[in-house]
Amino acid sequence: MQDVVLALLAKEPSHGYDLRRRLAAALGPLGEALNAGQIYVTLTRLEKTGLVVQEREDAPVRGPRRKVYALTASGQQRVAAWLAETTGPRADVAEFHLKLVAAAESGLADPLALADARRRELMRRLAEVQHAALAHDVNTEAGLLLEGIALRLQADLRWLDACERTWSARAPGGRGGGNG
Amino acid sequence: MTRDGRRLRGRSRRTGTPRGSGAQPAGTALRAVGLTRSYGRGESLLWAVDRVDLDVPAGQTLAVTGPSGCGKSTLLQLLGGLDRPTEGEVWLGGRRIDHLGERALAGLRCRSVGFVFQSFHLMDELTAAENVELPALLAGSSPRAARRRAAGLLDRVGLADRARHLPSELSGGQRQRVAIARALVNEPLVVLADEPTGNLDSAATRDILHLFDELRAAGQTLVMATHDERVAATADRVVSLRDGVPVDDTRLADDAGAGLGALLSWED
Ligand SMILES: Nc1ncnc2c1ncn2[C@@H]1O[C@H](COP(=O)(O)OP(=O)(O)O)[C@@H](O)[C@H]1O
Ligand SMILES: [Mg+2]
Cα–Cα distance measured from residue B212 to residue B215, given in angstroms and rounded to the nearest whole number: 5
Residue A84 pLDDT? 82
Among candidate residues A85, A106, A124, the one where a domain is terminated: A85
Q: Is B201 near chain A, with CB under 8 Å?
A: no
Q: Residues A75, A151: one domain?
A: no
Q: Residues A96, A179: one domain?
A: yes
* Nearest-CB residue to A134 (from B4, B67, B210): B210
C-alpha A168: how far from chain center = 16
Q: Residues A121, A155: one domain?
A: yes
Cα–Cα distance measured from residue A128 to residue A109, given in angstroms and rounded to the nearest whole number: 29
Q: Residues A66, A137: one domain?
A: no
Residue A31 pLDDT? 81
Choose from A78-92, A146-160, A162-176, B157-171 the range with maximum mean pLDDT: B157-171
Q: What angle do CA B5, B10, B12 make, to 5 degrees?
A: 105
Q: Residues A1, A63: one domain?
A: yes
pTM for this entry: 0.86
Q: Per the CB < 8 Å rule, is B233 touching A116?
A: no
Choose from A133-137, A158-162, B175-179 the range with maximum mean pLDDT: B175-179
Residue A89 pLDDT? 63
Q: Per the CB < 8 Å rule, is A173 touching B9?
A: yes
Residue B265 pLDDT? 61
CATH number of the domain enclosing A50: 1.10.10.10
Q: Per the CB < 8 Å rule, is A129 touching B257?
A: yes
Residue A37 pLDDT? 85
Q: Residues A110, A75: one domain?
A: no
Residue A105 pLDDT? 86
A33-87: pLDDT as tens digits? 777 788 889 999 999 999 999 988 766 666 666 789 999 999 999 998 888 887 6
CATH number attached to the domain at B57-82+100-264: 3.40.50.300
Among candidate residues A85, A112, A132, the one where a domain is terminated: A85
Residue B97 pLDDT? 96
Among candidate residues A85, A101, A130, the one where a domain is terminated: A85
Q: Residues A172, A103: one domain?
A: yes
- Mean pLDDT over A26-39 rounds to 83
Residues spanned by the domain of A11: 1-85
Cα distances (Å, whole numbers) of residue A97 to A10, A46, A114, A160:
17, 22, 10, 10
* Nearest-CB residue to A130 (from B233, B243, B259): B233
Encode B77-94: b = buried (16+ Cβ within 10 Å), e = exposed. bbbbbbbebeebbbbbbe
Q: Residues A126, A176: one domain?
A: yes
Binning pLDDT at 50, 70 and 90, where does residue A22 land?
Answer: confident
Segments in chain B below pLDDT 70: 1-26, 254-259, 262-268
C-alpha A142: how far from chain center = 32
Question: Is any ligand 1 atom within 6 A of the Cβ of residue B69?
Answer: yes
Domain ranges of chain B: 57-82+100-264
Q: Residues A97, A13: one domain?
A: no
Averaged confidence pLDDT in chain A: 85
C-beta of residue B40 within 8 angstroms of C-beta of residue B46: yes
Is the ipTM of this structure higher than 0.95? no
- Mean pLDDT over A113-134 rounds to 92
Helix axes B202-217, A111-134, angle to 10 degrees: 90
Cα–Cα distance measured from residue B255 to residue B241, given in angstroms and rounded to the nearest whole number: 26
Q: Residues A70, A103: one domain?
A: no
Min Cα–Cα distance to chain B from A45, Å:
24
Our count of domains for chain A comes to 2
Q: Residues A37, A52: one domain?
A: yes
Cα–Cα distance measured from residue B176 to residue B199, given in angstroms and rounded to the nearest whole number: 9
Q: Residues A74, A94: one domain?
A: no
